[in-house]
A and B are shown apart, each in its own frame.
Chain A
Amino acid sequence: MGEILTNAPAEPAGAVTYATADGLLGSVWLLVAIPLVSAAILLLLGRRADRWGHWLGVAAIGASFVLGLASFFQLRGLENKSVELSLWDFIAVGGLRVDFGLLFDPLSAVFVLLITGVGFLIHLYAVEYMAHDAGRRRFFGYFNLFVAAMLLLVLGNNYVMLYVGWEGVGLASYLLISFWYERPSAATAGKKAFLMNRVGDAGLAIAIFIMFATLGTTQYDEVFSGVGALAGGTVLVLGLLLLLGATGKSGQFPLQAWLPDAMEGPTPVSALIHAATMVTAGVYLIARSNPIFSANTTLQLVVVSVGALTLLIGCIIGAAKDDIKRVLAWSTVSQIGYMFLGVGLGGGAYALAIVHLLAHGFFKANMFLGAGSVMHGMKDQVDIRRFGGLSKHMKITWITFMMGWLAIIGMFPFSGYFSKEPIIAAAFAREDWTAWLFGGAALLGAGLTAFYMTRLFVLTFHGPARWTEDIDHPHESPKLMTIPLILLAIGSVGAGFLLSTSVPDWLTATAGLGGEHGEHESVLPHALITTLSLLVTVLGAGLAWFLFRNGTATAPQPAGVVVTAARRNLYTDAFNEAVFEKPGIFLTRALVYLDNRGIDGLVNGLAAGVGGGSGRLRRLQTGFVRSYATSILTGALLVVAAFLAVQAGWLA
C-alpha cells in the first residue's frame, strides 16, 4: 500500500484519535446486549413468558440505564473522552476492514442516557398502557429490540455499525407501527415507513461506498481524519447522501410523509420511537459526521434549508389537524426541523441542536404519554374536537401536559426556551442575507408552534366538554402511568436550563463538536431576538386561546385554500401517490404482462416452432437405410469441418 500513501496529502489538520476502552467502559457492549437478549427471550419463549415478560423488558432497560449512567460518570473522569471497544472483525475482505466496534464518547453518552432514561420511563408506562392487550409480551419484545438497535446506532464506531443499527431501528419501528397488524391501516403505515426509510437508507449506503472508494475505510476516526483530503465535490455528494439518509429517518422534507402515519402504533411507541429517540437519529448522524458537513458550505446551506422548510411545513400542517397524535407528530417533524437547522448552521450550533434534541426528548415524550393518558380515559378517542374540559377530570395529566406545552412553545423559564431560542439566535447569526431568511423562518415557526400547540392544549383540557355520548366520566390513569408523566414533566421544566448550561461544554470532547464558537455577528442584537421570540410565542398562544377558549365545532368545517391544503398534508401524499405509487403499480403490471407474453412468449414460440419443425422433419424418417447413411455421412463431414475450422483458427 506504500505507493498509495506517497500520493496522499500531508496529514490533515485535526486528526481524530480514540483511546481504548478498559475497566467499566470495557463493558459498554452490555448496553446493547442486555436489551437484545431480553428481546430474544421475549420473542422466542412465546406465551410462556406472557405473565412476567413485560417486567423483564422494563428491567432490561433499567439495567442498561444504570450501566449507562455508571459509564457516563466513568467517562467524565477520563483525559481522552472518546473510548473505543473493538469486539471482533465484522467484515474483513481485501482492503475492506470493518470493525464490530463501539465508540463511547460524550455525544454517544448523552444519547445513551436519553434512550435508556426516557426509554425506561416509557417502558414503565407501557406496562399499564398495554395491560389489556393480548400482545403485551410481543410488544415489549419489539420495544427492547428497538432500544438495542438504537443503542447500537449511537454506539457504533464506524458507519457500517451505524447502518446496522439504523436499519435495526427501522425494523423495530415497522414492527411497532404495524403492531396491531390486523388493522389494514396499521399494516400499510408500517410498510410505508419502512419503504420511505429504505429510500434514505440507500442514500446512506451509497455514502458508505463513497467513503470506502475514496478513503479506503468506514471507521469514524479514519474518515474524519481523511475528509480534509477529499475534493469539494466529493464532500458535497457524500454529505447530500448522508442527508438523504437523515431525512428519511427523521421525517424531514422530502421524506416526511411516513411519520404522521406512524401514529397507527400504540402511543408509547409514538412517544419513544417517533418522538424522543429514533426520529432524532438523523440529527445524530449529521452531528456525528460534523467534520464532513463542516467541510462544505453548500452542504450546510442545504441542511439549513431542509430544516427551515420542514419546520414550517410541520407547523402549518400541525395547525390544521384534529387528531391529537397527528398534531404531536407534525410538531415532532417541525421540532426536528429546528434541530436540522441547528446542525446545518454548524460551529457552536451543533451543540445547540443536541441540547434541543435532548430537551425535546423529555417534553415530547411527556406530551405523547399525556395524549395516551387522555385516550386511555376517553375510550381511545383521538379527535381533539371531541375533548374539552378534561382539566377537571384528569388533574395529573393536565398539569404534566401543561408543562410539556409550555416547554415546546418556548415559554420562559421552561425547557424549550433554553433550547430553541439559541437556535433562532444562531440562525440570525449567518453572514449574509440568509440570516434574515432562516432567522425569520425560525421565528415564524416559533409563533406558529405556540398557536397550534395552544390550540391542542385548550381544546383538550379547557372549554366546554364535547365528548361523544358513550363517555360519562373520564378517569385519571393509574399510578404506573402518571409517575412517568410526572418525572417527564419535571424534565420538561428543568431539563432545558440544565442541559443548555452543561451539554455544550461536555460535547466539546467529541470530535468537531466543540471549540469553534467563531460565530459571525448577529444581524440583530441577541436581546432583541429573545424579546421577539417571546413576543411571537405569546401572540401565537394568545390568539389560539382567544379563538378556541369556547371550544370548536365537532364536525369538519369548510375551509379556505391554505387550511384545506394543510389538512391534506400540503398535497405531499397526493404527490407521492401520483408520481411514484400509481406509475409504479402500472409499471409492475405492464412488466408482468410483458414477461408472460413477451419474453416467455418468445421462448414458447420458439419451442412451438421447433415442435412444428420436428413434425416436418419426422417425414425424413423414411426407413431407407441409404438415406440414413447419407445423413450420417453429411453429419460426420460437418463435425470434421467444424474441428478443422477450430484448429485452423477460422473462427478467430
Chain B
Amino acid sequence: MSNFPFLSVLTVAPLVGALVVALLPRRRPELAKQVAFVWSLLVLVLSVLMWITFKVGGDRFQFRESYPWIPNWGVHFTFAADGIALVMLMLIAVLVPLVILASWHDAESSKRSVPIYFALLLVLECTMIGVFAAADVFLFYVFFEVMLVPMYFLIGSYGGHQRQYAAVKFFLYSLVGGLFMLAAVIGLWVVGGKTFDWQALSQVDISTGTERWLFLGFFVAFAIKAPFFPFHTWLPDAGGAAPAGAAALLVGVLDKVGTFGILRYCLPLFPDAAKWFAPWALALALIGIIYAALLAVGQNDLKRLVSYTSIAHFGFIGVGIFAFTTQAGTGAVLYMVNHGLATGLLFLVVGMLIARRGSALISDFGGAGKLVPVLAGVLFFAGLASLALPGTAPFISEFLVLIGAFTVNKPVAVIATLGIILAAAYVLWMVQRTTQGTLNPALTEVDGMRRDLNLREKVVVAPLIALIVLLGFYPKPVTDVINPAVQATMDDIGRTDPAPSVGTVQEASK
C-alpha cells in the first residue's frame, strides 16, 4: 500500500471530478451537487487510507513521487508529504465535502451555473492538495498561483456584496506576492545549482546577503497569503464577499499555504535569514494578534468579523513558527489544523445565519437564540472553539504556541497571552449582539429565521464539532504526526529547545 502514488492521485482526482461535474447539463443541478459530494467523499476515503499508511516516526518525507516535466530547467512533478503536509491534506479532505454540503443552495441565488460552482470547488481542492503535496519549488509556485483562479471565480461570480472589488483585490494582492516569490524562486534556482528539487535545495549553502533577499521574496508572498499585518486588508473584503463555503476554505485552508510555506520553504531553505528576520516576524505576528482582535471587536459584519479573528489567529501561528521551539512549532501546525476546523465551522454557521436573515450585519440580528436555538448553540460552540476554550481543539494549539514561545521569549508570549482576553471579548460580544438580548422584531418577519438547522446542516456541523471536541481532549494522534516534522525543521535551522532553567529531580526518574 505504501507504494501507491497517493499524492498524485489525490491531486488529480478532484480535477477529474471537476471536469465531470462541469460537463453535466446545467438543467441538472441536483445531479451535479451529488456527483461533486460523492467525489469529494472518495477523496476523503483515499486521504484516510494515506493517513493510515503514513509511518509515524518513519522518514521525514513519505509517498515521494517524481516525474520529469521540463527537463531543461530541471522541473519535476515531485510530490512528497511530511507530517505537516499530511495533516493539512487531511484537513482539506475533511473540509471540502462538508463545504460542498453546506453550499448546497448557495449557488442558486446567483444567475450563474450551479454545476460550475461545484466544479470550481473541486478544482480548488485539486490546487490546494497540489500546493501542500508539492516537493518541487517550481511546482509549488505553479500551484500557489493557479490556486487563485478557482477562488477568484468563486468570489467574483458567486459572492455577495462588492464581490467584484473583493475578487480583484484578492487576486491582485496575491499575484503581487506571487511575483516576489517568482523572483526568489528563480534566484534560488540560480544559486542552488539549477534545480527546483526541495531536498537538493535544502542542502545548498547560500551567502548571507542573497539568503536574506531570497527569504524576503518568499516571506512577502507568504505574509500576504497568510495574511500577516500589515498585508491583511484583502482578507476581510474577500472573506466578507465570498460565499460562506468558499470563505471557510479561504481562511480554513488557502491562507494556511502562507504559514505552511514559511515552515516548508523560508525556515529550512534559508535558516540563517529566518533567524535574522525572526524578531521582525514576531513583531508583525504580535501586532496582528492584538490589532486584529481589536478590529474584530469593532466589526458590524459577521463575515468580516470572522475574517479579522482569523488574522489574529494567524498572529498566533506566526508566533509559534518564529519562536523556534518544538512546542511552539508543533503548536503552530496544530493551530493550522484546528483553526481550519474551528473557523471553518464558524464561517459555515455564520453563513447559515446570514442565508436565513438575508443580511450579514450584526445589527440586523438580536435575540435570534429565541427563534433558532440549535443554530445559536452551534454558533456559540464555534465561538468557544475560536476563543480556544479548554476542551476544544484550538486550546491545545494555542497553549503549545504560548508555552513554547515563553521558554525562549517571555515578553512575546505574555503579550500574545493578552490576545486570549480579547478573543473572549470579540466572540462573546458577537454572540450577545446576534443571539442574546431582546428579540429584534424584524427577525420574526423573515421566513428563514423561523427554520432551525435542518438535517443537511446538522450533518455539516456534527463532524466538525465532534473533531473539535475529540482533538481537544486527545490531540496525540495529530501531534505525533506533526512533531517529527517540526523537530526536523528545528534541526534544519539549528535550534534546540532550551532546558528548564531549574531541572527537577523527578525528571531524572522519568
What is A's interface to B at a CB cutoff of 8 Å? 1, 3-5, 7-9, 11-12, 15, 43, 46, 88-97, 100, 160, 163-164, 166-168, 171, 174, 178, 181-184, 187-188, 190-191, 194-195, 198-199, 201-202, 205-206, 208-210, 212-217, 219, 221-222, 225-226, 229-230, 587-589, 591-592, 595, 599-600, 603, 607, 643, 646-647, 649, 651-652
Contacts and interface: CB of A to CB of B under 8 A. Distances in A.
Contacts of B406: 206, 209-210, 212-213
Interface string B37-58: 0000000000000000000000
Nearest to B291: A591
Nearest to B369: A181
A32 to B, nearest CB: 12
Given A164-B391, A592-B295, A198 B325 contact: no
A8 B483 contact: no
Contact of A651 (B210, B325, B377, B435): B210
B400 A205 contact: no
B371 to A, nearest CB: 11
Contact of A4 (B172, B291, B503): B503
A168 B399 CA distance: 15
7 contacts: A95-B500, A164-B391, A587-B294, A588-B295, A592-B295, A592-B299, A649-B210
A184 B437 contact: yes
A599 B425 CA distance: 24
Contacts of A43: 377
Contacts of A229: 502, 504
Contacts of A163: 390
Nearest to B437: A184
- Overall SS of chain A's interface: helix
A211 to B, nearest CB: 9
Contact of A198 (B172, B213, B420, B505): B420
B437 A8 contact: no
Given A89-B476, A184-B438, A651-B210, 9 more contacts: A1-B507, A8-B503, A9-B502, A91-B396, A93-B327, A95-B500, A202-B417, A206-B406, A599-B230
Contact of A8 (B209, B230, B326, B505): B505
B367 interface: yes
A10 to B, nearest CB: 8
A647 B377 CA distance: 60
B510 to A, nearest CB: 8
A185 to B, nearest CB: 9
Interface string B75-111: 0000000000000000000000000000000000000
- Overall SS of chain B's interface: helix
A216 B428 CA distance: 34
A194 B233 contact: no
Contact of A607 (B172, B399, B417, B473): B172
Interface of B: 169, 172-173, 187, 190-191, 207-210, 213, 230, 232-234, 291, 294-295, 297-299, 325-327, 330-331, 367, 369-370, 374, 377, 384, 389-391, 395-396, 399-400, 402-404, 406-407, 410, 413-414, 417-418, 420-421, 424-425, 428-429, 432, 435-439, 473-476, 479, 483, 487, 497-508, 510
B506 A225 contact: yes
A181 B403 contact: no
Contacts of B369: 181-182
Contacts of B367: 182
Nearest to B296: A588
A470 B232 CA distance: 60
Contacts of B295: 588, 591-592, 595
A409 to B, nearest CB: 38
A589 B473 contact: no
Contact of B403 (A191, A208, A652): A208
B483 A93 contact: yes
Given A93-B326, A160-B399, A216 B479 contact: no
A209 B508 CA distance: 21
Given A96-B327, A209-B406, A592-B298, A649 B483 contact: no
A599 B230 CA distance: 7
B214 to A, nearest CB: 9
A652 B190 contact: no
Given A198-B424, A652-B210, A215 B291 contact: no
A573 to B, nearest CB: 17
B501 A195 contact: no
A226 B428 contact: no
Nearest to B433: A187
Contact of B417 (A178, A190, A206, A226): A206
Contacts of A3: 499
A209 B327 contact: no
Contacts of B297: 588
Nearest to B490: A94
Contact of B507 (A5, A209, A595, A649): A5
Nearest to B423: A198
Contact of A194 (B428, B437, B497, B502): B428
A588 B500 contact: no
Contacts of B429: 191
A649 B207 contact: yes
A382 to B, nearest CB: 21
A215 B504 contact: yes
B253 to A, nearest CB: 23
Contacts of B508: 1, 5
A46 B439 CA distance: 21
B134 to A, nearest CB: 24
Contacts of B172: 607
Given A7-B503, A93-B479, A195-B425, A168 B326 contact: no
Nearest to A17: B506
A195 B505 contact: no
A527 B460 CA distance: 70
Nearest to B326: A94
B233 A600 contact: yes
Given A163-B390, A164-B391, A202-B418, A652 B432 contact: no
A1 B417 CA distance: 29
B394 to A, nearest CB: 12
A79 B355 CA distance: 63
A595 B298 CA distance: 11
Given A46-B374, A195-B428, A91 B479 contact: yes
